[in-house]
Chain A
Amino acid sequence: MSDSAVLRLHAEVEFAAELAALSASDDRPRPTGWSLSPWAVRTYVLGGSLPSGMEITPKYIGNARLIEIAIATLVTDRALLLLGVPGTAKSWVSEHLAAAISGDSTMLIQGTAGTDENALRYGWNYARLLAEGPSEAAMVASPMMRAMQTGKIARVEELTRIGSDVQDTLITLLSEKTLPVPELDREVQARRGFNVIATANNRDRGVNELSSALQRRFNVVVLPTPATVDEEVDIVNRRVSALGRALQLPTATAPIDEVRRLVTIFRELRDGATLDGATKLKSPSGSLSTAEAISVLSHGLAVASYYGDGQLRAGDLAAALTGAVIKDPVADRVVWLEYLKTVVKERAGWKDLYRACKDSV
């Protein structure tokens, strides 16, 4: 599995060493079916140091209390719904929680408008179904069913993109913890350790609003955008370094001042005001999440290392930055130009960025 040619490793593979060390030093009670105790899961997600001296890197930077609520929710056998605007690390948190609790984050259902009931329950291998009739061998278990059978965490991404009628399949599944298979006259009962972590975007919640019956079966944790500039700079910096290593970029780290500048731009446009609160700004239509800041910076690093002198400069960032801000070619362009002229141009030491961005618009 841990093939270095794989583009993106699963959390449990990438952080296998940390998980093993945590498991070794974890002497507190583990709920049945959990591979770590809740306290160790907390350390895994939020970071810390082990008695052995090993440092656990923080996976989530931000309000630790939210992560505690999420873990406590899973302890109580309740399904967890992570809500947040795009790019607030919902899927990231869900993957790491699954990796820490079940040691397996691959029971994943990607929610789309086309997701049907089979993706949540089970489907059939029609060739065998025709040849042998309904049998277990002809059945294709969904990740949900496999999670139930093995007592692991199933993840549902973008829950609100799944059609309402398909969403409702989850209702009985979550309350009864069983999945009947009438064709074979049997049922799959969930083993201890099974649970569901769903993520949904609360900006376009209206796509397929959760029914109140389903909402009642979830504990909801809202993940906020990073609270302070420093927090966001930290997040971007860590993620970009990790990505840079994974992508084997020659220049893997960005100067911290450049990160700060980028995060400042993102925050100011997102909040509709300069950081000091002195100037009101227009906000573009995109969400300008932390995740986008990360991708802009990685892109800049790639440009710098392949086409530049290896040093990240304003010009390397400009194209990706402009692309991230301007989602609507007309309205956002005005917003971006106005921001460049009124804020970026005036700021001491930002002249290079102004010129570079001005050219790329």
Chain B
Amino acid sequence: MTRFFGVRHHGPGCARALVAAFDEWNPDCVLVEGPPDANEIIPFVAAAGMVPPIALFVYAADAPKRASFYPMARFSPEWNALRWAVVRGAPIRFCDLPQAHQLGSSERDAADGEAPESEGELESQVGSAERDPLHLDPLGWLSLASGYSDRDGWWDAQIESRRDPGSIFDAVAELMAELRSKQPPAIGREARREAWMRRTIREAEREGHQRIAVVCGAWHVPALAHPIASRKEDEAQLKGLPKCKVVATWVPWTNERLAFASGYGAGVASPAWYAHLWEHPEHAAVRWVSECARLLRASDLEASSANVIEALRLSEALAGLRGRPAVALEELQESVRTALCGGEEAPMMLIHRQLVVGEAMGSVDPSVPAMPLQRDIEARQRAARLKPSPVRARVDLDLREDGGRGRSRLFHQLGLLGIGWATPETTAGALGSFREAWSLQWDPELALKIVEASIWGATVESASFAKVIHDASVATELGDVVSLLQSVLLADLVDAVDPVLARVQVLSSHTADVDVLAKALPPLAQLLRYGDVRDTPVERVTPMFDELVERVFVALPLACTAIDDASARLRLGAMRRIGDAIATASREGQRESWLAVLGELARLPGAVPLIRGHATRLLEDARVLQPAELLHLASYNLSPAAEPADAAAWTEGLLQGGAATLLHQDALWSTLDAWLAALHDDTFVELLPALRRAFSSFAGPERARMAQKVKALGRPEARPKAALAELNPERARQILPVLATILGVPLPESA
């Protein structure tokens, strides 16, 4: 005899009823909707270290990107069916269409293509090929139709919240038969899945099992219990399926991933509430509201026992008013909000995060076969004393200590492998390069990334090394390789430094583009200046940096002539980067060479005015320009013969990046003033946008000071004189000791 147990995936009431029914009926063969590719690893469910939520993870051996996850929680009927059978030694197997056939099929690709979540090789047990909304969530629609505001309400009230669900399975089967009778027969992937399930059932019957229990999604029951296709039709249906080699394993999962919010089709909106129902079938509501109160108190919010009682009374009154058989999560949440949280939304978000969805993360027994890389990561995590958790946490590292360096190394190496467990954060306020801040968050789907990264090697170290060498060899952009070099040094992959450096050299010699070369400079300069905290071999970077700088110097003037406005702006960025990099690296003689290049640029007739202006500005900043020279350049560029547009561009270049140093150049301002005043009205209007742009980057106070300056241009000597006249030498002398202390110079005796 074969009995069908139509369940809702992750339904605690279903699971409870299922276990009770199994205990009573004692099936001698259990078939569960799931991938038969994972039959081998079913026995692990009884291992001590298996703590749900965990997921079956099936991926194509040659293309790990194609993968499916089958999550299970403690309260999932499937999980309980598996455990029941394994513990009692009853034969158990999965009966869904093998992933070996699904992952190889092209129909899957089409389905994935239209799936909204792009990273989503993730697929629900219900299946994503069926797009009919009624089919995807029949019970959800039933719930909405019955006047519940959420999709789980009806089922929760009818099935999951029952402490003694009795024989719900017959009723569910009947309900589904009714729902499906209004639907067209299954086609495509779903038809094949159900055909495979029927085939597996027939096999089990042929093997002579007497009491076969089939645990599957409620939707499938009618198609299995009253077969709509004969054995022959099914076999024809299953003929010639594409096939690929797949691997199955168990991976840890999280509550958050179980929830609808993360885009998982057959998910549940409230995993933590279900877990609560599963663990405390008695007084579930009372306990849950008390938990809420405890959580609020732990967050320093007021929550008295009296209000807990009021919240419960309110929830019961609400359920009565709404004609519900029992208090559901919906009523509880509304009551807690009204009676405990003063009607506010913010505390409810806390409750939602921790007590409705939950932050639990499962773990997998070490005996479960896994990729060597996975094991190595676990070992490194243990060594670093960091436990993967789904809750985002911030870690501050001190790179002067061995522990901090070790962790940083691990984070950087994982980052190179694309395993995004740790993401760097900015260290606000911390000076020096010995600090790093990271934000850690384990996402179960990282299992996929680990499998993908496994092709590079068996340990984090060797895999990241191999991947870096590969990435460097295929990279064609200098910028990419330089940032790779930076990561390599940060990840402390000493052996990879030389090959990557060699690649930088090769690419830089092929690159004539000043912008690209300029982009490569700052990271290298950073390494030169600060790299020594980690004892990395930066001395090998030095010759490279020098060479690049030389090449930039040679290429820059040419790259600044005969270019359009957009390129000129790009070049401004490049100039800024070069200047910063040279300042950071502070190599002998480079500053002088750079100033010489700038001097050339400022006077180069062919260079575009914007660049000429900015070069002048950078020279002025470096204080190598005599006031007379500056004035000379200004009057040349702003002379009446110059095109007004060019003159405006020159002004813009000159004023880029703060005007503080220019404020005291009276002569310059007079020249500017004369130029502006001499402009024809029409020309002035024409130039206005360019001029506005030139001044737009200044902060308010700076602009105010400039305005002051302009106002006082006509009578430059008036103000300072007045100030001097009021100087009181006696009082001025009193501040000299303090000034001397600040400046660190001895106070002259006679002063």
Contacts and interface: CB of A to CB of B under 8 A. Distances in A.
A interface, how many residues as a size bin?
20 to 34
A222 B306 contact: no
Nearest to A75: B317
B318 interface: yes
A219 B310 CA distance: 8
A90 B318 CA distance: 20
A68 B338 contact: no
Interface in A37-84: 38-39, 42, 65, 68-69, 71-73, 75-76, 78, 81, 83
B149 A221 contact: no
A222 B342 CA distance: 9
B314 A216 contact: no
Interface residues of B, number: 21
A220 interface: yes
A72 B302 CA distance: 23
Contacts of A72: 314, 317-318, 320-321
A219 B306 contact: no
Question: Which DSSP category, helix, strand, loop or mixed, fits chain A's interface?
Answer: helix
Contact of A68 (B304, B313, B321, B341): B321
Contact of A216 (B302, B313, B343, B344): B302
Contacts of B335: 69
Nearest to B343: A220
Nearest to A74: B317
A215 B307 CA distance: 10
A212 interface: yes
A76 B306 contact: no
B334 interface: yes
Given A38-B321, A212-B302, A220 B342 contact: yes
Contact of A71 (B302, B304, B321): B321
Contacts of B313: 76, 78
Interface string B281-306: 00000000000000000000010101
Nearest to B334: A69
Contact of A78 (B149, B314, B321): B314
A39 B307 CA distance: 25
Nearest to A41: B321
A172 to B, nearest CB: 14
Given A65-B334, A68-B321, A72-B321, A215 B342 contact: yes
Contacts of A71: 321
Q: Residue among A71, A215, A219 with the most chain B CB within 10 A?
A: A219
Given A221-B338, A221-B343, A222-B343, A69 B318 contact: yes
Given A39-B321, A76-B313, A69 B306 contact: no
Contacts of B342: 215, 220
Interface in B115-173: 149
Nearest to B345: A222
B52 to A, nearest CB: 33
Contacts of B341: 220
A325 to B, nearest CB: 28
A78 B339 contact: yes
A76 B314 contact: yes
B280 interface: no
Nearest to B304: A216
B318 A220 contact: no
Nearest to A83: B343
A111 B343 CA distance: 21
B310 A68 contact: no
Interface string A202-234: 000000000010011001111000000000000
B338 to A, nearest CB: 5
Given A42-B321, A75-B317, A212-B302, A69 B307 contact: no
B321 A216 contact: no
Contacts of B307: 216
26 contacts: A38-B317, A38-B321, A39-B321, A42-B321, A69-B334, A69-B338, A72-B317, A72-B318, A72-B320, A72-B321, A75-B320, A75-B321, A76-B317, A78-B313, A78-B339, A212-B302, A215-B342, A216-B304, A216-B306, A219-B310, A219-B314, A219-B338, A220-B338, A220-B341, A220-B342, A222-B344
8 closest A-B pairs (Cβ-Cβ)?
A220-B343, A72-B317, A222-B343, A72-B318, A76-B313, A75-B317, A220-B342, A219-B338
